[in-house]
Structure 1
Amino acid sequence: MSRRTALVGALGAAVVAAVPGQAHAAEEVAPADPLPQGYIIPGDRAFPTGMCLDPRTGHFYVGSAEDGTIYRGHLSRPTAEPWLPKGQDGRTVTSGTAVDRMGRLYIAGADTHALRIYDTRTKRLLAGLTGADGGFLNEIAIADDDLAYATDSYVPVIYRVSRRGGDWRLEHWLDVSSTGIDWVSGSVNLNGILAAGPYLLTVNSTTGGLWRVDRNTSQAVKVDLDGYLLRNGDGMVLRGNRLYVVQGSLYEGARPQVTVLDMASDLTRGRYVARYDPPGGFLHPSAIALTARHALVVNSQYNRWREEQPPVTPFTIATVALSSALPPVTEGRQ
Structure 2
Amino acid sequence: MLRTIRLLCAIVTTLGLAVATGGPAGATSSDRRYPESISLPNGFRPEGIAIGSGPFAYLGSLANGSIYRADLRTGLGSILSEGPGTPSVGMKLDERGRLFVAGGTAGDARVIDTRTGRVLASYRLSTTPAFVNDVVLTRDAAWFTDSTNPVLYKLSLRGGRLPADVVRVPLTGDLVYGTGINANGIAATPDGRGLIIVQSNTGGLFRVDGSGVTSRIDLQGEALPQGDGLLLRGRTLYAVQNRINTVAVLRLNASGTEGRVVQRVTSALFDVPTTVASFGSRLYLPNARFTTPPAPDTTYNAVSIPRP
- Whether TM exceeds 0.5 here: the answer is yes
Superposition pairs for residues 258-277 of structure 1, below 5 Å? 258-277=247-266
CA distance in 2, matches of 1:110, 1:37: 30
Q: What amino acid does structure 2 have at the position aligned with 1:296?
A: Y
Structure 1: runs of 5+ lacking an equivalent:
1-27, 250-254, 324-334
Q: Which residue number corresponds to residue 319 of structure 1?
A: 304
Superposition pairs for residues 169-180 of structure 1, below 5 Å? 169-172=165-168, 174-176=169-171, 178-180=172-174
Q: CA deviation at 1:163?
A: 4.6
Distance 1:83 1:134, change over 3 A: same
Q: 2:65 aligns with which of 64, 68, 90?
A: 68
1:303 aligns with 2:300: no
Q: What amino acid does structure 2 have at the position aligned with 1:288?
A: V
- Does structure 2 retain, via aligned residues, the 8 Å contact 1:91–1:109? no
CA distance in 1, matches of 2:262, 2:157: 39
Superposition pairs for residues 244-263 of structure 1, below 5 Å? 244-249=238-243, 255-263=244-252
Q: CA deviation at 1:104?
A: 0.8
CA distance in 2, matches of 1:281, 1:124: 33
Q: Provide the alpha-carbon RMSD of the alignment.
A: 2.2
- Does structure 2 retain, via aligned residues, the 8 Å contact 1:39–1:79? no
Q: What amino acid does structure 2 have at the position aligned with 1:317?
A: A
Instruction: Name the SS of the counterpart of 1:226 in structure 2.
Output: coil
1:112 aligns with 2:106: yes
Q: What TM-score comes out, normalization by structure 2 length?
A: 0.83
- Does structure 2 retain, via aligned residues, the 8 Å contact 1:304–1:311? no
- Does structure 2 retain, via aligned residues, the 8 Å contact 1:182–1:209? no
Q: What does the per-residue CA deviation read over 1:143-162, in whole Å, with 9 as the maximum and x for residues that have no partner?
A: 023x1000000011011012
Q: Which residue number corresponds to residue 187 of structure 1?
A: 180
Q: CA deviation at 1:229?
A: 1.3
Superposition pairs for residues 1-334 of structure 1, below 5 Å? 30-31=28-29, 33-34=31-32, 36-55=34-53, 57-86=54-83, 90-132=84-126, 133-145=128-140, 147-163=141-157, 167-172=163-168, 174-176=169-171, 178-184=172-178, 186-196=179-189, 197-215=192-210, 217-249=211-243, 255-278=244-267, 280-305=268-293, 313=299, 315-323=300-308
Distance 1:139 1:226, change over 3 A: same
Q: CA deviation at 1:271?
A: 1.0
Q: What TM-score comes out, normalization by structure 1 length?
A: 0.77
CA distance in 2, matches of 1:284, 1:32: 24
Distance 1:183 1:59, change over 3 A: same
| Count of residue correspondences | 278
Q: CA deviation at 1:60?
A: 1.4
Instruction: Name the SS of the counterpart of 2:291 in structure 1.
Output: helix
Distance 1:92 1:310, change over 3 A: closer
CA distance in 2, matches of 1:95, 1:29: 30
Deviates further, 74-83 or 28-37: 28-37
Structure 2: runs of 5+ lacking an equivalent:
1-25
Q: CA deviation at 1:84?
A: 1.1
CA distance in 2, matches of 1:167, 1:265: 30
CA distance in 1, matches of 2:269, 2:69: 24
Distance 1:149 1:30, change over 3 A: farther
Q: Percent identity at matched positions?
A: 30
Distance 1:300 1:208, change over 3 A: same
Q: What does the per-residue CA deviation read over 1:61-95, in whole Å, with 9 as the maximum and x for residues that have no partner?
A: 10111121210012212123211123xxx343211
